[in-house]
A and B are shown apart, each in its own frame.
Chain A
């Protein structure tokens, strides 16, 4: 195992652990107001200090991890759930009108950055965490469709696929039995990367008010609240930012580590 993989797993599990533990325990109630204790710097009582309402930031960060992870994870799920079948279909029917429609559709979706989708959805249906999920999820679909199609296309040229065709297997069966298992590694790595991008995107959306709404805590909105106070209480901005960085860094390292670890060529070379 490489250093990337170990460090990545460590950081990611730390954040995941915080999110899971927050369901049963946080140092304080993350929503409890305590005005006399407001704007405390980090101390032994409040590890990460308190905000302008005296809420415990450590507790808010823990609960906020839940929101970030949930949004990014479901968004990756949407991307994989729609993107992978589309990519497999396009590759299996390479050059057909279906392939053309799927790929042009992908290009079109790529022209709508998640923020633009979020703006559209919010303008029409109002703000909420679900918007963020849909906006990021939609943007993930073409990412997974493209990467699946690209990898599947080169597999379709391989002789073991021809052998399967000579054995009378149809496109659907070959895609499930031979193509999907051989692109799985790639999808796991890309999934990790999209997961980390999802965390960043969620933070951005909730920062501008297009994501999770109060009282759901989220790192992005904590930053938005901190903005006017950054000159006299910099920890309000520093801590949620560092939480985001640690999470994204951890996931990226995990993705890089997995890529090296899962790549049979590199593994053979190492052995």
Chain B
């Protein structure tokens, strides 16, 4: 018999339909993954099971746990079930814990709120589960506060809270999306272990198809609130009856072909760059400590080359990016573009800035909401001594918008009229408009859905051919870097630990860190072949 049975579940919030006739079932000890792009309704499905829906939600259909109906259960009975029979893990470990309570109190709360055991015993159980999730009390005492732990450790605490009472069903909503690949691998391993050990059912919500293929016994693919396809993992991957499923998997592993690089000729030279940040003093008369974000980094980027920079969060890649852009001064070392320093004296060098542009990650925060597209894309003209005006300016705007796949008519619109993918196109148009020698892509496709990401990657490949782009592509996503760059730098704790031809590095990583990164990254199965 199924542990969880969802039948014909429909959901509308303030009259807007969110879910349409969703069916899903989970057996004990089974991992079921629900996947889809943003707006597919996958998270709402999870919240519907918990009966933690936002105000104004109207639900119909059936959700049964062990045969008993959850929909329209009195709130008091749902409270008794949540935490005890159903546990839940959320996406954002940095904010999922109460900052003013200790981790011990928060784990014990799950036990005590259900009056499952007396406080002394609850304490022992809290220590047990925390040890089980990899936080043994001798190294992580119960008196720790959340801010004293890293993101991965906090996610372990959240998991400990969810499993403290051995629930029959665990729901994990994008549990590793906010984490680095190596941490992600550990957390996924932990979840898998818990499922088999406790014979739990796991409902896993994730957008990452590689994770899905790796973890799940069954897969449910959703789009616009509907289930488009579902089945046992091996079978579904082998057949993929629905074109959307096929498109999703293709887009996830999307490959582009870059034009052949031209004759190497150095453009950007970074030599022995060091950037320190001062830390607050530990004691009143202590000398202030330093955090070395970038530690003696040197590399050369040739004209026409597409260079990747990969590393996990906190490795210093953002600081390095800011230093190259001249947004932050470095303590020692030098950065030259075309032989000219990025900084002269303590001021950024305008002649160098003219040759560089950047595309940022967040398609929503990258534009002043009060300006029209024409003004937004022409902002870099400020760098030119004699910026084009009148008809010439109009032509340049039209040319750029066309080049990135938009219409010249879009120049009169405001940014909120565009989707995330279109905004990234506008960001690329802004970067291209002064024909810079070098463009920095700072996690430029990381916030996009896979299908949109594939389109933007295609656009980049196309632009490489028409405009002979030279770029530095900064990303934590190895699969994207692998296809969009010629050469790659691997960064760890402020240092470049490995560099080389992209294919070479990925196929045969030399440094231990690179090896662990590549090993940790979940792999997408070959499409259309029955995986073994």
Alpha-carbon separation in the docked complex, A160 to B370 (Å): 11
Q: How far is the CB of A95 from chain B (nearest CB, A)?
A: 10
Contact with B along A166-187 (1 / 0, CB 8 A): 1111000000001001100000
Contact with A along B284-328 (1 / 0, CB 8 A): 000000000000000000000000000000000000000001110
B477 within 8 A of A: no
> Which of A162, A163, A178 is the most central at the interface, judged by chain B CB atoms within 10 Å of its CB?
A163
Chain B stretch 332-354: residues in CB contact (< 8 A) with chain A? 348, 350, 353-354
A3 within 8 A of B: no
Cross-chain pair count, CB within 8 angstroms: 55
Q: How far is the CB of B418 from chain A (nearest CB, A)?
A: 14
Q: Does the CB pair A167–B379 fall under 8 Å?
A: yes
What B residues does A182 contact at CB under 8 A? 368-370
What B residues does A158 contact at CB under 8 A? 365
A36 within 8 A of B: no
B105 within 8 A of A: no
Alpha-carbon separation in the docked complex, A268 to B383 (Å): 35
Q: Does the CB pair A168–B353 fall under 8 Å?
A: yes
A94 within 8 A of B: no
Q: How far is the CB of A250 from chain B (nearest CB, A)?
A: 29
Chain B stretch 355-382: residues in CB contact (< 8 A) with chain A? 356-358, 360-362, 365-370, 379-382
Q: Does the CB pair B382–A168 fall under 8 Å?
A: yes
Q: Does the CB pair A163–B358 fall under 8 Å?
A: yes
What B residues does A163 contact at CB under 8 A? 358, 360, 366-367, 379, 427, 430
Q: A159-B360, A159-B362 are in contact. Are A166 and B353 (CB under 8 A)?
A: yes
Q: Does the CB pair A160–B366 fall under 8 Å?
A: yes
> Which of A164, A165, A168, A182 is the most central at the interface, judged by chain B CB atoms within 10 Å of its CB?
A168
What B residues does A181 contact at CB under 8 A? 368, 370
Alpha-carbon separation in the docked complex, A178 to B381 (Å): 16
> Which of B354, B368, B430 is the most central at the interface, judged by chain A CB atoms within 10 Å of its CB?
B368
Alpha-carbon separation in the docked complex, A168 to B325 (Å): 10
What A residues does B325 contact at CB under 8 A? 162, 166
Q: Does the CB pair B327–A162 fall under 8 Å?
A: yes
Q: A168-B383, A169-B382 are in contact. Are A159 and B361 (CB under 8 A)?
A: yes
Q: A160-B366, A181-B370 are in contact. Are A166 and B382 (CB under 8 A)?
A: no
Chain B: CB-nearest residue to A268: B416
A264 within 8 A of B: yes
Alpha-carbon separation in the docked complex, A253 to B412 (Å): 35
Q: How far is the CB of A251 from chain B (nearest CB, A)?
A: 26
Contact with B along A63-100 (1 / 0, CB 8 A): 00000000000000000000000000000000000000
Chain B stretch 429-445: residues in CB contact (< 8 A) with chain A? 430
> Which of B348, B354, B382 is the most central at the interface, judged by chain A CB atoms within 10 Å of its CB?
B382
Chain A: CB-nearest residue to B327: A165
What B residues does A168 contact at CB under 8 A? 348, 350, 353-354, 382-383
Alpha-carbon separation in the docked complex, A268 to B325 (Å): 35
> Which of B360, B381, B416 is the most central at the interface, judged by chain A CB atoms within 10 Å of its CB?
B360
> In the complex, how many residues of chain B place their beta carbon closer than 8 angstroms to a beta carbon of chain A?
27
Q: Does the CB pair B361–A166 fall under 8 Å?
A: no
What B residues does A160 contact at CB under 8 A? 365-368
Alpha-carbon separation in the docked complex, A182 to B370 (Å): 8
Q: How far is the CB of A188 from chain B (nearest CB, A)?
A: 14
What B residues does A167 contact at CB under 8 A? 353, 379-383
Alpha-carbon separation in the docked complex, A167 to B369 (Å): 17
Q: Does the CB pair A166–B365 fall under 8 Å?
A: no
Chain A stretch 131-184: residues in CB contact (< 8 A) with chain B? 158-160, 162-169, 178, 181-182
What A residues does B366 contact at CB under 8 A? 159-160, 163
Task: Tell which of B356, B368, B382, B383 touches A178, judged by Cβ atoms closer than 8 Å.
Answer: B368
Alpha-carbon separation in the docked complex, A162 to B361 (Å): 12
What A residues does B361 contact at CB under 8 A? 159
What A residues does B327 contact at CB under 8 A? 162, 165-166
Alpha-carbon separation in the docked complex, A162 to B358 (Å): 9
What A residues does B362 contact at CB under 8 A? 159
Alpha-carbon separation in the docked complex, A169 to B384 (Å): 12
Alpha-carbon separation in the docked complex, A184 to B350 (Å): 31
Alpha-carbon separation in the docked complex, A165 to B321 (Å): 14
Q: Does the CB pair A264–B360 fall under 8 Å?
A: no
Chain A stretch 219-271: residues in CB contact (< 8 A) with chain B? 264, 268
Q: How far is the CB of A75 from chain B (nearest CB, A)?
A: 29
Q: A167-B379, A168-B383 are in contact. Are A162 and B360 (CB under 8 A)?
A: yes
Alpha-carbon separation in the docked complex, A158 to B362 (Å): 9
Alpha-carbon separation in the docked complex, A181 to B430 (Å): 21
Which are the 7 A-B pairs with shortest beta-carbon distances? A159-B360, A159-B366, A168-B383, A167-B380, A159-B365, A167-B379, A158-B365
Interface positions of A (Cβ within 8 A of B): 158-160, 162-169, 178, 181-182, 264, 268
Pairs A–B under 8 Å by Cβ, sample size 17: A159-B362, A159-B365, A160-B365, A160-B367, A162-B360, A163-B360, A163-B367, A166-B353, A168-B348, A168-B350, A168-B354, A169-B382, A178-B368, A181-B368, A181-B370, A264-B369, A268-B416
17 more A-B residue pairs beyond the given contacts A163-B367, A167-B353, with a C-beta to C-beta distance below 8 A: A159-B362, A159-B365, A159-B366, A162-B327, A163-B379, A163-B430, A164-B379, A165-B327, A167-B380, A167-B381, A168-B350, A168-B354, A168-B382, A169-B382, A181-B370, A182-B368, A264-B416
